[in-house]
Structure 1
Amino acid sequence: MSARDLPPLNALRTFEAAARLGSMSLAARELHVTHGAVSRQVRVLEEALGQPLFTREGRGIALTTVGQQLHEQCSTAFGQLREGWQQLRHTRASAAFVLGCPGSVLARWVIPRMERLRHELPTLPLHLAVQEEPVADHLAEVDAALLLAAPPWPAGWQVHELAPERIGPVLSPRYPGAERLRESPVSALRDEPLLYTASRPQAWPEWARATGLPPASLQQTQALPHLYFLLEAAAAGLGVAIAPQPLVADDLADGRLLAPWGFHPTSACWALVSARGSEDPRLPALARWLRGELAAT
């Protein structure tokens, strides 16, 4: 079968609307085009068939015998197409939505909120996948990825920015000198062992600049391979860590960690990203939910 074996599909769609509604004007309104555009598309079909499809009846239109036959065929074909399309959309809507995110975000922020997410987005069967940086090469393996990153974004990404990143120092109440540090200015950190992740050594200097502290005055003493390990080390009293606020919010609320100097924004943000061109209707709903959770945190 070639394209020449089929009628002009845009013209056929226009004809079906005019025949079903019995009006060129109503068809134009439904299709969001002009009355003249509908008339032209109908003429395209009539010229292709060599026969008229409508006759004038007063101020309205009526189908010819050929027009009635074509309308019946269109109704059947478009009905089957609509039904098949709805089935495909239903199948996609019920399929698992795979969300990739770094292990620390997964363990410390997403998993504690899974029960609430399932309750508030019951039609989103979410599957979680650990996805560490770099993400760009792996978006084809997930429906979306939740990450902390800074623009500019890769050209192939569709990005929902959710919230600005805020970072700050945290320490355990069991840390030696914790009581003293709770009442001290940020300059007291010059004499403390500072923990950081090897993948983000710029976090402490970035925070220091935001607070007016010379970055060179801080001594980063121990690198941890993963943010999750970094925060566990801080909770164990091994030093002062630098962390994104949402990932320690529950620990702060429980008193497991302290944040004596608060949190400051960085150039990065929380973002939900997917491959450009993704049409999954569940993506905006998930972005809205995540945005609300981050605002609440």
Structure 2
Amino acid sequence: MFKSSEIPTIKSLRSFVSVAHHQSFSKAAKELHVTQGAVSKQITLLENMLGQALFERQINGIVLTPAGKQYLPKIMQALEIIQHASASLIQSDTTQEQLTIDVPPSFASLWLIDKVEEFRQIAPELQVKIRTREDTELKLAGEADIVLRCLPLSKHYEHSELIKRETLLLVGDVKTTCTDIESILSEHSLIPQTTRPQLWELFKSQYQCLDVSNYCQVGFEHFYLSLEAVKRGRGLALIPDFMLTKELEKGELVNPLGLSIKSGYGYYMSVPSYRLASRKVQLFHQWLVEQLA
């Protein structure tokens, strides 16, 4: 356990970071809304505690000493952790039970963010936290109650359940007068998804258009990025059907000739064994299955 006399005050550390950033005591004082003398005093106290000089005065101003350069990134990280922890606690409602869901970025941005309030109506007593990661493994992620991943179809994922098989729609931003698939593909650039480049080959094989190869020179890692590229007129993309409901209903995008493919992937859900009986997990599981049916 550290003694209080061995730990610098937050005031002195904030002064140190501000002076290091501005390379000026006066500018740091202005940022911190204190006098220049107060900032100078905090730096002196900090240097005395550490037994090392943190700044060196030069003709053109002040610069960090080697000790200061070593100290700065660690202090910035520590202050950020304190700020994050404090803000998280302020924003959390400790009287509410929390449900933490770990999902892929596109699933969150193109579907869950619009639907989560519907779930909250079923379980208003829950505070829902959504985290996003793009792991290629179905593994429990820290404190998450539920983990959802899009993976190749398989019966060998332990402690998991297939929630939905993935169907991809061909989608573009404008209607076309073409009446055959080969003409449609030839008229537009094909936007690749870089993590699954085989999708276009699968699509072309299914519709016997293997000679078409006018790929867009810019590919994207996530479906939500590919969708934004489509909206900006960059070409055609293959996007999961349930992520396109809003755009298709509004007529913002079109699915030429109603073309689609089964990707060979599916959305798998994993829950820690000790949380399977949890009411909050069961509620979300039932709701999710119904929504994606």
Give the alignment's TM-score, normalised by structure 2: 0.60
Q: Distance in 1 between matches of 2:139 and 2:164?
A: 24
Measured after TM superposition, the shift of residue 266 of structure 1 is: 2.4
Measured after TM superposition, the shift of residue 216 of structure 1 is: 5.1
CA contact (8 A) 2:99 2:128 kept: yes
Please give the residue correspondences for 1:1-297 in structure 2 after superposition, counting only pairs within 5 Å.
95-136=97-138, 139-152=141-154, 157-173=158-174, 178-181=175-178, 184-188=179-183, 189-209=185-205, 211-215=206-210, 217-221=212-216, 222-260=218-256, 261-275=258-272, 278-281=275-278, 282-295=280-293
Q: Distance in 2 between matches of 1:289 and 1:236?
A: 33
What secondary structure, in the 3-state scheme, does the structure 2 residue paired with 1:117 have?
Answer: helix
| Unmatched 5+ stretches in structure 1 | 1-92
CA contact (8 A) 1:168 1:207 kept: no
Measured after TM superposition, the shift of residue 95 of structure 1 is: 3.2
Q: Distance in 2 between matches of 1:206 and 1:285?
A: 36
Give the alignment's TM-score, normalised by structure 1: 0.59
What secondary structure, in the 3-state scheme, does the structure 2 residue paired with 1:96 have?
Answer: strand
Q: Distance in 2 between matches of 1:215 and 1:271?
A: 31
CA contact (8 A) 1:167 1:207 kept: no
Change (3 A) 1:141 1:152: farther
Change (3 A) 1:220 1:286: same
Measured after TM superposition, the shift of residue 167 of structure 1 is: 0.3
CA RMSD between the two structures: 2.5
| Unmatched 5+ stretches in structure 2 | 1-94
Q: Distance in 1 between matches of 2:271 and 2:155?
A: 11
Deviations 1:71-95 (A, max 9, x none): xxxxxxxxxxxxxxxxxxxxxx963
Q: Distance in 2 between matches of 1:278 and 1:152?
A: 24
Of all paired residues, the percent bearing the same amino acid is 19
Measured after TM superposition, the shift of residue 154 of structure 1 is: 6.0
How many residues are matched?
196
**What amino acid is the match of 1:185?**
D
Change (3 A) 1:277 1:220: farther
Change (3 A) 1:268 1:226: closer
Q: 4+ residue runs of structure 1 moved beyond 6 angstroms? A: none
Mark the structure with the bigger radius of gyration.
1
Measured after TM superposition, the shift of residue 137 of structure 1 is: 5.1
Q: Distance in 1 between matches of 2:112 and 2:237?
A: 21
Deviations 1:84-126 (A, max 9, x none): xxxxxxxxx9631110111111111001012111012334432
CA contact (8 A) 2:190 2:214 kept: yes
What secondary structure, in the 3-state scheme, does the structure 2 residue paired with 1:195 have?
Answer: coil
CA contact (8 A) 1:207 1:264 kept: yes
What secondary structure, in the 3-state scheme, does the structure 2 residue paired with 1:194 have?
Answer: coil
Measured after TM superposition, the shift of residue 269 of structure 1 is: 1.5
Q: Distance in 1 between matches of 2:150 and 2:209?
A: 25
Q: Distance in 1 between matches of 2:156 and 2:126?
A: 27
